[in-house]
Amino acid sequence: MQSTDEATGSVASQYTDHAYPLDDLKPYPMPIRVVAVVVAWLVPGGGHLVLGRFGRAALFFALLAGAFVFGLILNGRLFWPVADTEAALGFDLVTVLWSFAQIGAGLCYIVSYLLGIGTEFQAQAATFDYGNTFMILAGLLNYLVIHDAFDIAAGRKH
């Protein structure tokens, strides 16, 4: 029978053998970092594609673009800031926040807006709120994916 120290020692050594050495992390040149961040905003997962992380790029694109399109299918609406004369700031803060969240999806939002897809208010649809949630979630998660691409480009992570 193993003692506790022997069991934890063998488990810990299995994980440290596969760790990346810290000196292996190297930042990309600044122009590539900028391109990666801009492309990451335009196309979900695009920044990872620029950096050569093809698996992550495909996964992020499929999940985030798929969530945005699914939200449109569920009658989600594209939000844009609305002027409100009764509000203290002169605009409806909720629509500002929701539009900021959706714009995070990049070209998914821009192309849908230009084509007029999802621009009509369809609150009578039973799935309206679910569609909005998927579209907002896709944009907010893409902001995290952009940050992940920047961290990889800056040499902070693999």
Residue 2 lies in a domain: no
What is the domain count for the chain? Answer: 1
Kindly state whether residue 1 falls inside one of the protein's structural domains.
no
Does some domain include residue 21? no
Query: Which has the closest alpha carbon to 32: 17, 46, 22?
Result: 46
Cα distances (Å, whole numbers) of residue 145 to 17, 104, 124, 129: 28, 10, 33, 24
Residue 22 lies in a domain: no
Lowest mean pLDDT among 34-43, 64-73, 88-97: 88-97
- Is position 133 within any domain? yes
Q: Please check whether residue 132 lies inside any domain of the structure.
A: yes
93-122 tens-digit pLDDT: 888 899 999 999 999 999 999 999 999 888
Each residue of 48-76: pLDDT tens digit?
999 999 999 999 999 999 999 999 999 99
Q: Is residue 10 part of a domain?
A: no
Burial class (CB in 10 A: 0-12, 13-18, 19+), 108: buried
Spatial contact of 122 and 75, defined as CB atoms under 8 Å apart:
yes
Range of the domain at 57: 27-153
- The mean of the pLDDT values for the chain is 87
Whether 123 shows a pLDDT value over 90: the answer reads no
Looking at residues 63-92, what average pLDDT do you find?
A: 88
Indicate whether 82 belongs to any domain.
Answer: yes
